[in-house]
A and B are shown apart, each in its own frame.
Chain A
C-alpha cells in the first residue's frame, strides 16, 4: 500500500506549493558575559521568516533549478517538501501527498540528497549502505542487486563500491550519494547543493548522470545550488528566491535572453593598430597595440555596428564574442530584488 502512488496524484504535477511559510523563533543575546547573564534571566526571542508566502508548481519529470544566496530559504523549502519540517502556514503537495503528514508514504517515491549531510555509512563501503537502503525501501535482494548494477554503470562507481566511504574523495562520495538516493526508482529527486565543494570534473560526472536518469527514467529534479553552472547544464526552468520569496521564475533560456543583453568582444589584429575605439554606448575594457576588449549592451548598440567599427581598424586575426557569466546575471537579479 505504501508504495502505491497517492490516488489523487496528478500525473502532470509533481509539486504544488501555495503560500508556504516558515517562521523560526531565534534567541537573541547581547555579546559578552553580561549579555549571557541577561539572556539566562530574561531570554529574548525574535521571529525570522525563512520562507515567505512561497507559491510555485513543478511538472512531472521537469528539471527545475531553485537558486538563491545563503539564507534565501532554499533548504528550508526542500525540508518542508520532504516532510522534515512542518510549515508555519500554507499548503504543499508533493506527488499528491502532504509531506509533513504523509512523510513515510512520500519517502518511498522521492530521493533526497543534502550535499552537506552524508547518508552513506562513513566506516563501511558504499555497497553496504546500498544493501541497507534496499531493506529500508523493502526491495528484495535480487532487485536491489540488479538496480545497483544499473546505477553502477550510470554513475561509473564500479571501482568505488567496495571501498570504505571514509577513503573516497568528495567527488567519488557524492556520486555514490546521488546513486544511493535513486536506488528505489523515485519519481522525484530533491537535491540540496549536490555540487558543493566539488571540482569541475566531479561536477560534470554528477550532472551527466542526473541528466541521464531524467531522460531514461523520467525522474523530476528539483535542484538547489549556488553554482550557476549546475543551472545552465541541467535545468530547463529556474526559480530564484531571496529573503524567502520568489524574485524570478522563468525558463533558463528566457533568463539568458532577458538578462544576457551585455556582450563582451575581444579582437586580435594581424598588425599593430592605433585607431580610437570609442563608440557611443560601448565601454572599452582593455586596449593594446594588437587588440582590444569591449563591452556593450545589444539593446542600445547593434552588434553589427560594433563589428564593422572594429574591422575598419585593421585585419582581424581572431574575434571572440561572449556572454557575461550567468553568476553575474543572477547577482544582478538579487541586487534588483534588494533595491
Chain B
C-alpha cells in the first residue's frame, strides 16, 4: 500500500513533466496511434491475399497486435526507464535512486514516462474493438492479459538491461532483444515448431506477450490464464533477483549529469 501511494505520486509527477510540453505530448500520443494503424495496414493487405496462415486470420492479428501494443504502451507509460536501464547503470545514474528511501528498482523504472506509450496503450484497445471478437467480458480479459503481458515484457527488459552490471553498457544488445520480442510477438504462433515455441516461452518470451494473451482474450481457459500468471510471476521474480545480484557490483560513476 505504501509503495502504491509512492508509485501514484511518481506517476503523477511523470505526467506533469511530460505535459510541460503540451504540443509534444499530444503529437506523440496521436502520432503513435496513427503510426500503429499504418503499420497494421500491411497485415490487412497480407490477409486479404492469403486469408489465413495455419488457422490464423486477420481477426486474430487484430487481437494479437492489440494486446502487444497495449502491453508495450503500458510499460512505456508507467515504467519508461526499463528501456534505458542499462545506460542508467553504466553511467552511474542509479546514485540518485539509491540515495532515497525507496526500493531502488521500482523507483528507477517508474521515474520516466514515454508519452507515445499512451498512444500504443489506447491503440491496443481500439484494435481489439475492431477485431470482431469484441464482448464486454472479452474486454475485461483484454485488460488483464495486457497487464500480464506488460509484466513479462517489463521483466524481460529489466533482465537484459541488468546485464550492464556485469558487461557495461548493453543498450545495443537490449535493443536487439527488444526487437526480437516485438517481431516474434506479432507472428502467428502456429508458424513455429515445438523447439521454436520453447524459445518463445523462455529465452525470448514473445509468446507470452502476443499469442498466449491473444488466446486468453478470445476464449477464457484456466490453463492459458495459468500460463500467463506463471510467466509473469516467474519472469518478474527472475528480473528482480538478477537486478539485485548485479546491484552489489554497481560502480557508480563520475559523469556530470545535466538533468534527470
Contacting pair A112 B101 (CB below 8 A): no
Q: Does any Cβ of B come within 8 Å of A137's Cβ?
A: yes
Comparing A119-127, A199-207, A230-238, A308-316, the segment that makes contact with chain B is A119-127
Known: A116-B257, A123-B20. A103 touches B13 (CB 8 A): no
Known: A2-B101, A121-B13, A136-B101. A79 touches B6 (CB 8 A): no
Cβ contacts B217-260/A at 8 Å (1 or 0 each): 00000000000000000000000000000001011101011111
Q: Does any Cβ of A come within 8 Å of B49's Cβ?
A: no
Residues of A within 8 A of B100 (CB): 107, 136
Residues of B within 8 A of A105 (CB): 101
> How far does the Cβ of B205 sit from chain A's closest Cβ, in whole Å?
31
CA distance A103 to B20 in the complex (A): 33
Contacting pair B101 A83 (CB below 8 A): no
Residues of A within 8 A of B173 (CB): none
Would you list which residues of chain B between 1 and 17 have a CB under 8 Å from chain A? 2, 5-6, 9-10, 13, 16-17
Cβ contacts A286-312/B at 8 Å (1 or 0 each): 000000000000000000000000000
Q: How many residue pairs between the two chains, A and B, have CB atoms under 8 Å in the bound complex?
A: 80
Beta-carbon nearest neighbor of B250 in chain A:
A85
CA distance A169 to B201 in the complex (A): 52
**How many residues of chain A have a CB within 8 Å of chain B?**
35
Contacting pair B102 A124 (CB below 8 A): no
CA distance A83 to B254 in the complex (A): 16
Residues of A within 8 A of B95 (CB): 79, 84, 114, 117
Beta-carbon nearest neighbor of A184 in chain B:
B101
Q: Does any Cβ of B come within 8 Å of A38's Cβ?
A: no
Contact of B5 among A117, A135, A137, A164 (CB under 8 A): A135
Residues of A within 8 A of B98 (CB): 82-84, 103
Contact of B101 among A76, A107, A114 (CB under 8 A): A107
CA distance A132 to B259 in the complex (A): 17
Known: A84-B252, A135-B9. A119 touches B260 (CB 8 A): yes
CA distance A114 to B254 in the complex (A): 10
CA distance A246 to B98 in the complex (A): 26
Residues of A within 8 A of B102 (CB): 104, 136
Q: Does any Cβ of B come within 8 Å of A56's Cβ?
A: no
Contacting pair A84 B20 (CB below 8 A): no
Contacting pair B6 A135 (CB below 8 A): yes
Contacting pair B13 A124 (CB below 8 A): yes
> How far does the Cβ of A134 sit from chain B's closest Cβ, in whole Å?
9
Q: Does any Cβ of B come within 8 Å of A272's Cβ?
A: no
Contacting pair A164 B260 (CB below 8 A): no
Would you list which residues of chain A between 132 and 154 have a CB under 8 Å from chain B? 132, 135-138
Residues of B within 8 A of A122 (CB): 258-260
Residues of A within 8 A of B194 (CB): none
Q: Does any Cβ of A come within 8 Å of B37's Cβ?
A: no
CA distance A137 to B5 in the complex (A): 12
Contacting pair A75 B254 (CB below 8 A): yes
Residues of A within 8 A of B252 (CB): 76, 79, 84-85
Residues of B within 8 A of A82 (CB): 98-99
> How far does the Cβ of B140 sit from chain A's closest Cβ, in whole Å?
31
Q: Does any Cβ of B come within 8 Å of A118's Cβ?
A: yes
CA distance A123 to B257 in the complex (A): 15
Q: Report which B residues bind A (CB closer than 8 A).
A: 2, 5-6, 9-10, 13, 16-17, 20-21, 93-96, 98-103, 248, 250-252, 254, 256-260
* 8 intermolecular pairs with C-beta atoms under 8 Å apart: A84-B94, A84-B252, A103-B98, A116-B254, A118-B257, A118-B258, A135-B6, A136-B9
Q: Report which A residues bind B (CB closer than 8 A).
A: 2, 24, 75-76, 79, 82-86, 103-105, 107-108, 112, 114, 116-124, 128-129, 132, 135-138, 164, 166
